Amino acid sequence: MAVEWSEKLATGNDDIDNQHKELFRRFNNLLDACHQRKGKEEVSKLILFLGDYVRTHFSMEESLQKRCSFPGYSDHKKQHDGFIHDLKKLEQQFNLEGATLLLVIQTNQTMMDWLINHINSTDKKFAEYLRTGA
Ligand SMILES: [Fe+2]
Q: How far is the CA of 88 from the centre of ligand 1 (A)?
A: 17
Q: How far is the CA of 9 from the centre of ligand 1 (A)?
A: 12
Looking at the chain, the whole-number percentage of residues with pLDDT higher than 70 is 99
Q: What is the mean pLDDT of residues 5-24?
A: 92
Q: What is the mean pLDDT of residues 17-26?
A: 95
| Separation of alpha carbons 113 and 115, rounded Å | 6
Specify the pLDDT at position 94. Answer: 96
Burial of 129 (0-12, 13-18, 19+ CB in 10 A): middle
Q: How far is the CA of 82 from the centre of ligand 1 (A)?
A: 11
Mean pLDDT score across all residues of the chain: 93
Specify the pLDDT at position 134. Answer: 66
Query: Does the pLDDT at position 31 exceed 90?
Result: yes
| pTM assigned to the model | 0.90
Query: Does the pLDDT at position 1 exceed 70?
Result: no
Tens of pLDDT, residues 60-119: 999 999 999 999 999 999 999 999 999 999 999 999 999 999 999 999 999 999 988 899
> Is the CATH code 3.40.30.10 the one for domain 13-132?
no
Q: What is the mean pLDDT of residues 27-46?
A: 94
Query: Does the pLDDT at position 132 exceed 90?
Result: no
Q: How far is the CA of 118 from the centre of ligand 1 (A)?
A: 6
Q: How far is the CA of 121 from the centre of ligand 1 (A)?
A: 9
